[in-house]
Amino acid sequence: MNTQSVDATPSTDILSSTFLIGNVGAPFVIGLAVGYFAKKMLRTALFLGGAAIVLLFIAEYYNVINITDAELQHAATTAAEAAKHSGGFLVDRLTGITSKGASGAAGFFVGFKLG
C-alpha cells in the first residue's frame, strides 16, 4: 500500500510571513526610508534656499545687485515645480516595487510624515 501525504495548502498563502515580508513589509520599509530622506532633504533645501534669498536681499540693500519681485517669484515657482516633479517621480517609482504598489507608496507617505 502506497500512502502519500497531500499538501492541501495553496502555493501562495497570502498570510504567510514570507509572502507578507516580501510583498508588503520590505516595500513599506523602502518607502519609509525614501520618504524620510525626501522630507529631510526638502527641509535642507528650503533652509539653503532661504539663506540664498536673504543673501540676495542683503546684496540688493547694499546696491550690489538689483532683483525684482517678478524675478524672485519666477524663481520660486520654478523651484516649486521641480520639487513637485521630484516627489511625483519618487512615488511612481515606489509603486512599481510590488504588483499592487500600495505598500511602497504608503511607506513613503508615512516616512515623509515622520521626517
Cβ–Cβ under 8 Å, residues 113 and 34: no
Q: What average pLDDT does the segment 9-16 reach?
A: 52
Cβ–Cβ under 8 Å, residues 104 and 22: no
How many CA within 13 A on the CB side of residue 13?
A: 8
Cα distance from N-terminal residue to C-terminal residue, the chain: 65
Check whether 109 has a pLDDT greater than 60: yes
Query: What is the grid cell recorded at 57?
Result: 536681499
Q: pLDDT value at position 37?
A: 92
pTM of the model: 0.66
Cβ–Cβ under 8 Å, residues 112 and 98: no
Cα 32 to chain centroid, rounded:
8
Tell me the C-alpha distance between 35 and 47, whole Å: 18
Q: pLDDT value at position 31?
A: 85
Check whether 64 has a pLDDT greater than 90: yes
Cβ–Cβ under 8 Å, residues 111 and 91: no
Give 48's pLDDT tier (boundaries 50, 70, 90): very high
